[in-house]
Amino acid sequence: MNQIDFENENLFAFDEGFFSMMYLAGFNKRLVREARKAVAVNREFCLKHLKPLALEVDRKYEQDPNYLPWEMVRLAAKHRRLSSYIPKYLGGCGEPMAMIGPVMEEQAATDTAFVGLLGGHGLGLAALMMTFNLKVVDQVIGEIVNGEKTMNPVMLSCAITEPTAGSDVEEEELYPKARLMCSAKRVAGGALLNGRKVFISTGHVAKYHVVLMPFDQKRPLETFAGFLVPSDAQGFALGRMEHKMGQRAGPASELIFEDCFVPEEHIIMAIDDKFGRIFPGQYPRLLKGVLGITRAAVGAWSTGTARGVTELAIDFAKTHKLKGKTMISHQFVQAHLTNMVMNVLMARAVYMESYFSNMINLKMGLDKIPAFLDNQLVAWLLSTKPYKKILHSDFVRKLFLQNLSSATKAQDRRVQYAASMAKVVGSDMAMENCHLALELCGEAGVRHDRGMEKFFRDAKLLQIFEGTNQLNRLNFFHNYVGRYVPGVEVY
C-alpha cells in the first residue's frame, strides 16, 4: 500500500488551504505576497521558539496559579509580535490587517494560550486605534515599538466586562438590560473612574488599559467614553488573577478603580466631546468595529486550535500500532482523521469570509495606506514636529471618523453576522476536534506531555469570550435571518 509522505509535504501548507487567496493574487499580488511571508515567518517562530515553551509555561502555572508568563511576553517582544499589525509608517512590522487570521491560526496550532496572551494586547490596540485619537495612538504605539527594541515590553489590555455585565455589554441592543457597576465622573482636568472590571485578558502584564465605561450608568450608550489608564495611575489597582483551567499563559485579571484620575488628554473618546457631537453614535460604531475584527480573530484562533490537535492526532496515528499495523492504516481511523481535517478547512473558510467582509466595509483605516507610503522613511518623517502636528490634528481625526461613519447599516450587519459565524463555527470545531483527538488516542491523549489535553482545556474558553456562542448565534440571527422576518424580537 502506498503511503503519504507526511514529512515531505505540510498537511496545512499555505497553498493547500487558502485557495481564495491564491485566486486573489491575480488582483492584489502585494497582499498575497505579504500574507505568504507573514505565515512563513510565524511558522518558523512557532516551531523554533514557541513550541518548546508552551507546555513548560502551562506546567509552571499548574505549580503556581499566580505565575505570570513573562518569558512569553519577552519572547513576543524579541520577535516583534507585539507590533506585528502596527503599520510600518507608525514604526511597526506592518503585517497586513487582513492576514490577522492566517497568522493567528499558525500561532494557535502551536499554542492556543500564547494567542490569548497576544489577543488581549491586540484587543486593546484595536480599541485604541478605532478611536482615531491619533495623538494618544502615536504615543502608545511609539512605546510599544521602542519597548520591543529595548526588551522592555509594553502591552495593552481592553477592559469592558464587569462582575454583573458580561456578554450584554457587547451588543448595543442589550445595554438597557445590563447591570453596570462602573461609571466615570468629570472633574477639573479630567475624570474619575470607579468600579471593577473582571476577566480582563493580559491585565496583570499590561502597562496600559483601554477602559470603556459611561459617565451615566442609566444612559450608557449616550454617555460612554474610553480612557487610557496606566498601571501606575493613582486610584488604580490590580485585583485577583483568575485561576484558570486553560489558556494559562494569558492571565485574566480583575481591575479596580477607586477615584482613579484620568487626565483630559487620556480621555481617548467621549460621546459628549466635540467629535462625539459631530459623529453621534460613535461608541456603538467603535464597539461593532472592534467586535467585527476580534470575533473573526477568535474564529481564526479556534481554527488553529482545531488544526493543532489534529496534527497531534495524525502524528499519534502514524506512530502507534493497532492489531499489527499502524493506526493510520485502518479505515475507521482514516475516516476519523478526515472529519478532523475537514473541520479545520471548513472553519478556515468561514473566518476568511469574515475577514473579507471587513475588508469590504473598512474602506479606510490606519492600515489603508498605499505601499509606497508604508515604510520606515515615512515613519521617520511622521516623527518630526511638522508632520506630527498634521497627524495629530483634528482635521485628520475627523477624516478617519467620517469614513468610519459612512458605512451603511447593511454593511455593518454583514460584518457582524460574518464575524459571529466565524466565532461560533471555529470554536465549536475546536472543541469537536479536541473530543475526537482524545477519543482516538485514549489514555495517551490525557498525558500532559502529548499536548492534546492542553488543547482540550484551552479550547473551551473560545466558546465563551467575545460574546458567548449563544449570544453570537442570536447576533447572527438578528443581523441576517431576522432581517427577513419583519417584527421578530431577538433580544
DSSP string of 148-171, one letter each residue: HHHT----EEEE--BTTBSGGGSS
Query: Using one digit for the tens of pLDDT, what is the confidence trace for 141-156?
Result: 999 999 999 999 999 9
Q: What is the DSSP string of 405-444?
A: HTS-HHHHHHHHHHHHHHHHHHHHHHHHHHHHHHHHHGGG
Say how many Å lie between the first and final Cα of the chain, rounded: 57
Distance CA(352)–CA(20), nearest Å, equals: 9
The pLDDT value given to residue 326: 93
Query: Using one digit for the tens of pLDDT, what is the confidence trace for 174-216?
Result: 887 888 999 999 999 999 999 999 999 999 999 999 999 999 9
Distance CA(15)–CA(36), nearest Å, equals: 9
**CATH class, 281-362+407-483 region:** mainly alpha
> 261 pairs with which residues across the strands?
192
- Contact criterion met (CB below 8 Å) for 289 and 413: no
Distance CA(366)–CA(400), nearest Å, equals: 8
- The answer, as to whether pTM is greater than 0.85, is yes
The grid cell for 481 is: 435571518
Tens of pLDDT along the chain (491 residues) come to 334 444 545 788 887 778 888 788 788 888 788 888 888 899 999 999 999 999 999 999 999 999 999 999 999 999 999 999 888 888 888 877 767 899 999 999 999 999 999 999 999 998 998 898 989 999 999 999 999 999 999 999 999 999 988 877 877 788 878 889 999 999 999 999 999 999 999 999 999 999 999 999 888 888 899 999 999 999 999 999 999 999 999 999 999 999 999 999 999 998 878 777 877 777 787 888 888 889 999 999 999 999 999 999 999 999 999 999 999 999 999 999 999 999 999 999 999 999 888 877 665 455 556 666 677 787 778 788 888 888 888 888 888 887 777 778 888 889 999 999 999 999 999 999 999 999 999 999 999 999 999 999 999 999 998 889 999 999 999 999 999 998 898 88
The grid cell for 383 is: 516623527
What sign does the CA torsion over 32, 34, 40, 46 have? negative
- Other CB atoms within a 10 A radius of the CB of residue 127 amount to 26
What fold is seen in the domain 156-271?
Butyryl-CoA Dehydrogenase, subunit A; domain 2 (2.40.110)
Q: How far is CA 292 from CA 77, 110, 237, 285, 485, in A?
A: 26, 25, 30, 10, 23
Distance CA(47)–CA(79), nearest Å, equals: 13
Query: Using one digit for the tens of pLDDT, what is the confidence trace for 277-290?
Result: 877 777 787 888 88
The grid cell for 261 is: 484620575
The SS3 of residue 475 is helix
Domain ranges of the chain: 156-271, 281-362+407-483
The grid cell for 450 is: 502529548
Distance CA(213)–CA(218), nearest Å, equals: 12
Three-state SS annotation for 288-356: HHHHHHHHHHHHHHHHHHHHHHHHHHHHHHHHCEECCEEHHHCHHHHHHHHHHHHHHHHHHHHHHHHHH
- Would strands 252-263 and 156-159 be described as parallel, antiparallel, or unpaired? unpaired
Distance CA(228)–CA(262), nearest Å, equals: 8
Alpha helices (H) along 89-235: 100-108, 112-130, 134-150, 220-223
Distance CA(431)–CA(437), nearest Å, equals: 10
Q: DSSP class of residue 221?
A: H
- 346's CB contacts (< 8 A; 6+ apart) are 425, 429
The grid cell for 447 is: 498525558
Same fold, 156-271 and 281-362+407-483: no
Strands (E), 202-245: 208-214, 224-230, 236-241
Nearest to 241 by CA among 194, 212, 203, 196: 203
Query: Using one digit for the tens of pLDDT, what is the confidence trace for 94-113?
Result: 877 767 899 999 999 999 99
Q: How far is CA 90 from CA 42, 108, 187, 396, in A?
A: 21, 27, 33, 15
The grid cell for 16 is: 493547500
What sign does the CA torsion over 439, 345, 304, 449 have? positive
Q: How far is CA 232 from CA 153, 205, 206, 242, 358, in A?
A: 16, 12, 11, 21, 36
Distance CA(451)–CA(108), nearest Å, equals: 13
